[in-house]
Structure 1
Amino acid sequence: MNIKSNVLIAIYLVVSALALFFTWSHIPEYLGHGFIEANKAFWIDALINANSAGKFLSIDILFLAFVCNVWMYIEGRRIGIKYITIYIIVGLLVAISVAFPLFLAAREAKMAKQIELHQSPGLKVADILVLTVLFVLTLGVSIWMY
């Protein structure tokens, strides 16, 4: 694997770990009620008891998750990633923000093995700056809400 692939895989894995930590730090209040009751309480809070902004974000993420799942199936089958359904299940039971970066890491590893087929264009400095700002904002809001 080349250095660019290793860096991308590391970034995806770090983002997945951070997403797991920050999303699941809000879950303990739902635990202890059993799987079905915990899920019901969670979704009632997310979609019914939430204010308009919370409902907007919940619905936005549900549609994004659907598109991510469609793309994971298609892309995973196209390049031969095994066990795609596990990423979908992790997205449903843990968080799509955990599952999708894990899939991207697996995809990058698979494609790095097929170097001739995968010649990604390099990122420009402005691209890296924009992505860094987005990451810092995401992490900052996550820490603030923690």
Structure 2
Amino acid sequence: MTKHWTPLAITWLGLAIAGLVGTWIFNGLAIAQARDFVGDWVNSGPSVSSLTVDLLVVAIAGCILIVVESRRLGMKRAWLYIVLSGVTAFAFTFPLFLAMRERKLQERKLHQRAE
């Protein structure tokens, strides 16, 4: 179970869990309060709109990184991180991808040493 889990991979995994729990708490509150989720994003003033654009641009850049890095490293089913971000949160799936990427890098490093 601990094979290839470096301290950095565990850090990324911890951030993924924090991203999942944190976003779902507020998603749950939004649902309980019957809030207009998208309307709150775009109609709550320039500060919220600025954060929305900021996070969307970062999410798009992160999705591109997921595709490029997963192909470069030979990681399978990386598209699932992108799809899951629409169901959960990018704050969860991106650090999760980074954790799995770190594990793949560690695996490759150990494999190269063995040769």
Pair in the same fold by TM > 0.5: yes
Contact 1:23 1:95 in 2 (8 A): yes
Which residue of structure 2 lines up, in the alignment, with residue 71 of structure 1?
A: 65
Q: Deviations over 1:50-105 (max 9, x none)?
A: 12111100110001000000110011011111111110012222111111100001
Q: 2 CA distance for matches of 1:67 and 1:93?
A: 18
Whole-Å separation in 1 of the counterparts to 2:86 and 2:77: 15
Query: Percent identity over the alignment?
Result: 27
Match of 1:41 among 25, 36, 55: 36
Unpaired segments of 5 or more residues in structure 2? none
Distance 2:10 2:110 in 1: 22
Alignment-derived partner of residue 115 in structure 1: 109
**Equivalent residue, structure 2, for 1:99:** 93
Match of 2:52 in 1: 58
Q: 1:15-26 to 2 correspondence within 5 Å?
A: 15-26=15-26
Q: Aligned partners of 2:13 and 2:22: how far apart in 1? A: 14
The 2-side partners of 1:26 and 1:116 are apart by 41
Q: Unaligned regions of 5+ residues in structure 1, if any? A: 33-37, 119-146
Aligned residues: 109
CA contact (8 A) 1:20 1:98 kept: yes
TM-score (norm 1): 0.67
CA contact (8 A) 1:16 1:97 kept: yes
Larger RCO (alpha carbons 8 Å, 6+ apart): 2
1:31 paired to 2:25: no
Residue 81 of structure 1 aligns to a residue whose secondary structure is coil
Aligned to 1:9: 9
* Cα offset, 1:31, TM superposition: 3.2
